[in-house]
Amino acid sequence: MAYDKVVIGFTALFVAFLLAASVVSIYREGAFLVPGLAPSTYAKDDPVALKVNKVTSVKAPIPYRYHDLPVCVPEEAAIVKSNENLGEIITGNRIESSLYRV
């Protein structure tokens, strides 16, 4: 019985320590950003890089590259592959440059 109270006390103390460390970290460093999702700012007439991903369907289990569709066929030299992190590679995302300009 006394052992259970000690374990609960240490658990509560550990959780309180983690909460305090998190608050101090956020206060010192500001809000954290997820890698690959950092905000970008653009001025008027700045080019915006648009990227395309794979195309999937609920009827076909195989994803296709966006540029493999007959509608969007650029020259292969114009396509720039740009996976940003390991997670995108593992999940099978095929991020490539787009011919669209904004």
17: tokens are 């320590």
Q: Kindly report, residue by residue over 87-96, the tens digit of the pLDDT.
A: 777 877 878 8
Same domain for 24 and 53?
A: no
Q: How far apart are CA 93 and CA 88, in angstroms?
A: 5
45 Rama class: left (phi>0) / alpha (psi -120 to 50) / beta: left
Token pair listed for 56: 């999937």
Domain that holds residue 3: 1-34
Mean pLDDT score, 62-84: 77
Give how many domains the chain has, as a whole number. 2
Residue 96 DSSP label: E
Write out pLDDT tens, residues 21-52: 777 766 666 565 665 666 778 899 898 888 88
Co-location of 47 and 29 in the same domain: no
Question: 63 with 83, same domain?
Answer: yes
Question: What pLDDT does 67 receive?
Answer: 80
Examine the domain organization and report whether 56 and 89 are in the same domain: yes
Residue 79 is encoded by which pair of tokens?
């396509």
Q: What is the pTM of this model?
A: 0.51
